[in-house]
Chain A
Amino acid sequence: MLKTDSAFHNSELAKLLEACEESADFLSFGLQDSPFFIAYFKTLVKSEIIHHEVLACFQAKKPSTLEEIKAILPIEEVSITDDMTDIQNKLMTGNLIIFKKEGNWNCLVVPVPSVEKRQVATPETEYTVAGPKEAFVESLDTNLNLVRKRLPIPELLVKELMVGKLSKTRIAVVYVKGIADPENVNTVIQRINGIEYDEIADTSFLSQMIADNKNSPFPQLIDTERPDRLAAVLAEGKIGIFSEGSPTAISGPVSLITYFAAFEDYLSIWNVASAFRLLRLFAVLFSILATSSYVAILTYHYEMIPRDVLSLLITSRGTIPFPPFLEAILLELAIELLREAGARLPTKIGQTIGIVGGIVLGTAAVQAGLTSNVLLIVVATGALASFTTPIYQVSSVIRLIRFPFILFAQLLGLVGVAVCFALLISHLLKLTSLGRPFLEPVFPLRVEDFKDSIIRMPFNKQALRPLQIRAQNRQRFQQEALPKKDWDIDD
């Protein structure tokens, strides 16, 4: 217990200390041969610094005022304040306070934080074979360091905000001044400031809270765990958002096509990259439409089946007691169960689940005559195709929107599939990302922006930043005129 005189006992500082003392990890004690008291949370501070720097300085110099201590302490950012909310915040973020129990109860706030953080590791969800292998970690400062390292210019600005009544999460809005559109920056900052929530655990919370359409299954801000990818989008004029404690950064404004652009596309040669990007787009379309087309064709449009496939389909469907719709739904659900079970279990058991589910269940279901092997192939390929998207969140969206497609296929056949596709397209047309059109460059049509959308043109063709972002300065680099070819092959 503190030895208190009555005046101090009534002060706000004493009340604060009393409130803190209810926690077992709060320490507050008076110093020997000195009028000063020290208080801190022992779980938040580095005790070596307190012992070697702070206490040692008291023993050596015997200071008598807070100003004197401030002058002799070999620690930066030491401040003297009597603002109680400030003191409370500082206490909770790894500072210790030194105060006297007489006079005006000013406090000397000394930052001695002990920060627990993970090492920078390799990316897990956006792993690429070639290219950098760094990934963001849970520490905001480390993440900012990773980005600054890649963009060492003073124009890279970091705006820090605080969100969350309980979590007091530090949010950093990062952009390159002079390139990023100030309107976008203001939109982001305004929306983040408008967030009313108690605990922000991850940037995906933010991504959902500041989204233009909160009910859309499509994420309207892209999340990444790669510093190289974030640095690249910042250089394009986009805005990055970090939050303390989250190993992913989100960026925007984005268009739909960015969800199918892997960072690896920029690492390989443009024609190879374009081919694989097209493959990915095709895979997504296939994944959405394959099962529903199967249901529609087998239920309504048997005329469409080629002669050679007809007998194969009829014999494989012959023993199945369900109509194609139920068969497809059951199989799709089984695949989703497998994926869900695999995602929830530890890696080693997850692999077993994959084998058990995929091979044993699949073979058994076909042999028992519960599903046709043709549908099994269709569903499995569709599931496989949905995993080719480089952004994890999008692959779950793609698998989800297959179900309404299957339902519509059952209701109206291929017309239903077309209706559902029209609904999907109209939804995408209406979507915006930070107020910028989501389906750009397809709609509104910006032919110029196709250079990095469904295909990726070579770097020397990318002299202008995409129109969608409305960058202040669209020129990425001065394009040199190509030298005239006046040499011969043997020169």
Chain B
Amino acid sequence: MKKYLFWCIFFLILLFYNSIETKILEDIQHVSAIGYDYVDKHRMKGTAAAPFYPAGINVEPLDAFFTAEGHTFLDILQKQQLESQRKLVTGRLQNFLISKELAKHGVSELTDPLGRSTEIGRDVYMAVVDGSVEELLTFKYTNAPTSAEYLSDFMERNLKDIIPKPTVHVFLDQYNGFVQDPFLPIIEKKHDHIRYKGLALFKNDRYVGELSDKESYLFKLLYERTKTGTDQFSMKNKKYIALQNIRSKVKYKVSGSQDEPRIDVHVSFLGEVKDAPSISVGEGTLKEMEQEWSKGTTQRAEKMMKKFKELKVDPLGITEKARSHFRNFDKKAWEERYPTVPVTFHMKIRITNTGISNKS
């Protein structure tokens, strides 16, 4: 009986084998970056970068771009397919770009298929492009074989130190989650390089405002625990000091009642002085530096919080923290109350190291 069962299954597999679609690695074309520009209210223009690898040993990939206009992600992909030499597949997609113009009109149509597809991996990075996406993608950069490779390296190996990891799944989680508002990095093409510009703030799926590149590191400190990056601040006498982050932690404390909530944000920062020209670093000055940093950063954080409240966005996920604190959380009431909720920042810093030279 068992033997019959085995052979039955085996022959069924053989029989239906032809109905399984094979995707042999070198017979398909891998879309590694895809970007969308705004055309009009219902249409957008998609640009797919699918580098073509010619046969041979140690060959450089050739840049290949396919542009098409359409209404949805798949619609555009199908039109791009009409031009490409091989079947375009999105399983190795690395970067997903949206133009700022498009972001202002909402991105939910675009991100929806990303959440549904089983092909899309966990490491697809998203960004908002200031300017034309097509131009940024199709430009021939001198510092990488293909623009897609430059972009992938840039997003994956560089940007993660400056801002919280901007992957599609994080975005979708924030967007579809309870109340947190998503955020994405803004990049632009500047001369012949790609440049990080700041952090785009979203209300639901629409772009509403942005943080500058300098503010976005502070945002990272407030958003998650991190071990990377440098923070620069100035002393009273306009001397600038750069601090290397050894490790920083952030903790949100919600107190009070639902009608009168209070949020306390505790950041503890363990830093190392990397760059302190013309300042004598000693016992006394260290204390002073720590105080200056705390004061300055608290001010900056408060300013940032004020901006969030004005825009009525919550990229830090304070609402989420409040929801987990209060029983019978009233979402509507909270959203109205949000701009008035007092948020206090407590910046604690300890400078442990001043580098190997102990110049005084």
Contact = CB atoms under 8 A, between A and B. Distances in A.
B121 to A, nearest CB: 6
A151 to B, nearest CB: 43
Contact of A298 (B25, B32, B55, B92): B25
B13 A307 contact: no
B24 A318 contact: no
B61 A319 contact: no
Contacts of A298: 24-25
B349 to A, nearest CB: 37
A122 to B, nearest CB: 45
Given A300-B22, A302-B25, A411-B13, A318 B121 contact: no
A363 interface: no
A89 B32 CA distance: 82
B56 A318 contact: yes
B20 A412 contact: yes
Nearest to A316: B57
Contacts of A16: none
B278 interface: no
Contacts of A300: 20, 22-23
A319 B58 CA distance: 12
A68 B233 CA distance: 120
Interface in B101-130: 119, 121
B240 to A, nearest CB: 38
A94 interface: no
Interface string B18-33: 0010111110101010
A373 B56 CA distance: 12
B53 A311 contact: yes
A314 B53 contact: yes
Nearest to B118: A303
B57 A315 contact: yes
Contact of A318 (B26, B28, B30, B89): B26
A324 B23 CA distance: 11
B342 interface: no
A152 to B, nearest CB: 49
Contacts of A310: 30, 92
Q: Which of A307, A316, A411 neighbours the largest number of chain B CB atoms within 10 Å of its CB? A: A307
Interface string A299-313: 110110101001101
A323 interface: yes
B24 A323 contact: yes
**Could you tell me the dominant secondary structure of chain B's interface residues?**
loop
Contacts of B121: 303
Contacts of A229: none
Contacts of A411: 13-14, 17, 20
B54 A311 contact: no
A428 to B, nearest CB: 15
Contacts of A303: 91-92, 119, 121
Nearest to B59: A315
Contacts of B17: 411-412
B228 interface: no
A307 B92 contact: yes
Contacts of B25: 297-299, 302, 305, 313-314, 317, 324
B268 interface: no
Contacts of B54: 315, 318
B299 to A, nearest CB: 41
B94 interface: yes
A319 B55 contact: yes
Given A324-B24, A411-B17, A318 B94 contact: no
A302 B23 contact: yes
B152 interface: yes
Contacts of B51: 311
A315 B58 contact: yes
A319 B56 contact: yes
B18 to A, nearest CB: 10
A413 B21 CA distance: 10
Contacts of A369: 55
A310 B149 CA distance: 12
A129 B32 CA distance: 53
A138 to B, nearest CB: 40
B54 to A, nearest CB: 7
B61 A311 contact: yes
Interface string B146-166: 000000100000000000000
Nearest to A367: B57
B152 A318 contact: no
Nearest to A430: B2
17 contacts: A299-B23, A300-B23, A302-B23, A302-B28, A302-B92, A303-B91, A303-B92, A305-B25, A315-B56, A318-B53, A319-B55, A320-B26, A323-B22, A324-B25, A369-B55, A411-B14, A413-B20
Closest 3 CB pairs of A and B: A318-B55, A303-B91, A317-B26
